[in-house]
Amino acid sequence: MKVNHAEIIISAASKKQYPNEPIPEIALAGRSNVGKSSFINKMIQRKNLARTSSKPGKTQTLNFYRINEKFHFVDVPGYGYAKVSKKERAKWGKMMEEYFAEREQLRATALVIDIRHKPTEDDCMMYDYLKHFDLPVMVIATKLDKIKKGQRNKQIQLISTTLEMEEEDQLIPFSSETGEGKDLAWRSMLSHLEL
Ligand code: GDP
């Protein structure tokens, strides 16, 4: 997939601000610091369009990126902040619900997790949450460059069994360092976008 054009359209704090062009969307979720911004930047070949290492506690928004004028990536704020207040968490929950329950353009989601570790409880909760909306979930197991080749299969097994991944969902080993997995990730995304 060649990305000729990628721009951030809006950081939306509420539903009123969502772009209303009827083009398909993929939402990207993941724990804070897992490597989600690096994944987005690698996919769209930009060094720093998606902000890396967004700090917990700052304003929570849905960031809409328009790619090649044809579809949107929607960067969903990271979850699993240990120190976030109850109020912040409730706000986050409301924003997620508003988006995932009602967004007609949404075709699929990508859940970014760390291939080095067993998925956390938060990762499992997010997978179940997305499935509850009947959405296809591509599990992007990133930081592939940080494990030995001999460990790959074991980690892939551990992730798919811990998340209890459904048959229809694909697990994609990925590295933002080396670009490994990028073609597979695009193929999977394009199949959901039906472009
Ligand atoms: P985000 O908070 O989920 O958006 O995470 P970032 O994209 O900011 O990444 C967090 C840290 O992990 C940064 O220091 C990145 O450079 C590093 N990182 C992200 N992806 C990879 C990867 O595939 N390989 C390696 N080695 N480091 C990565």
157: in domain: yes
For residue 83, the model assigns a pLDDT of: 62
pLDDT tens digits for 71-125?
Answer: 999 999 887 655 678 888 888 888 999 999 999 999 999 999 999 999 999 999 9
User: How high is the mean pLDDT of the chain?
Assistant: 92
For residue 53, the model assigns a pLDDT of: 47
CATH of the domain at 45: 3.40.50.300
pLDDT tens digits for 52-82?
Answer: 545 554 558 899 999 999 999 999 988 765 5
14: in domain: yes
The tally of domains found in the chain comes to 1
For residue 166, the model assigns a pLDDT of: 98
119: in domain: yes
β-strand partners of 6: 67
For residue 76, the model assigns a pLDDT of: 93
pLDDT tens digits for 123-181?
Answer: 999 999 999 999 999 999 999 999 999 999 999 999 999 999 999 999 999 999 999 99
181: in domain: yes
Range of the domain at 100: 6-193
189: in domain: yes
For residue 51, the model assigns a pLDDT of: 75
For residue 134, the model assigns a pLDDT of: 96
* Site residues for ligand 1, CB cut-off 6 Å: 30, 32-38, 52-54, 78, 142-143, 145-146, 175-177
pLDDT tens digits for 7-17?
Answer: 999 999 899 99
- Per-residue pLDDT for 182 more than 90? yes
Q: Which of 75, 152, 176 has most ligand 1 atoms within 8 Å of its beta carbon, as the pocket-test mutant?
A: 176
d(CA 167, CA 89): 31
39: in domain: yes
Q: Which helix (H) or strand (E) holds 30?
A: strand 25-30
pLDDT tens digits for 21-58?
Answer: 999 999 999 998 899 999 999 999 988 888 754 555 45
48: in domain: yes
Cβ count within 10 A of residue 124: 15
Q: How far is the CA of 16 from the centre of ligand 1 (A)?
A: 31
- Decide: 155 and 147 in contact? Cβ < 8 Å: yes
For residue 137, the model assigns a pLDDT of: 98
- Decide: 113 and 160 in contact? Cβ < 8 Å: no
* Residue nearest (by alpha carbon) to ligand 1 atom 9: 35
* Residue nearest (by alpha carbon) to ligand 1 atom 12: 35
1: in domain: no
